[in-house]
Amino acid sequence: MNQISLLVALMVIAVDPARGQDVDIPAGSPDAGAIVFKKCMACHQIGPNAQNGIAPVLNGVVGRPAGQYPNYSYSSANKNSGLVWDERTLSAYLRAPTKVVPGTKMIFSGLKKGQEISDVIAYLRQFAADGQQNGR
């Protein structure tokens, strides 16, 4: 019985972007996320006039495969991660980027509060690939 439990645990770790960490995802507020996003603005831009800089533009990031924004030089770890930035993957990554994508160029240590993570994701979700805000 112990071998079966170990096998199941290893399978969960292998497929979960949080590396086996259960990520509780509370409902997010885009308005609160705009405030939290100020922590990200030193490197990332979002919106119709956003440009790549230290980090890639985040327009349309929710649902986009990792390492795919045009004209940004991603780390090979990010480009080859096979991840798609869905809510669960973003939650894990925003909490601990280097644990989810070892070798990433993102040096941010992560957001520690689940509500802030959910709020940032809700904020990011508003922006289409062209930088226009959906529904506002």
Distance between CA atoms of residues 82 and 115, nearest Å: 26
**pLDDT above 90: residue 11:** no
Q: Is the pLDDT of residue 4 over 60?
A: no
Task: Write the pLDDT tens digit of every residue in 30-88.
Answer: 999 999 999 999 999 999 999 999 999 999 999 999 999 999 999 999 999 999 999 99
Domain 26-125: give its CATH superfamily.
Cytochrome c-like domain (1.10.760.10)
Q: Is the pLDDT of residue 21 over 60?
A: no
Query: pTM score, two decimals?
Result: 0.79
129 to 4, 7, 43, 133: CA distances (angstroms): 44, 40, 18, 9
Domains of the chain by residue range: 26-125
Q: What is the mean pLDDT of residues 97-115?
A: 94
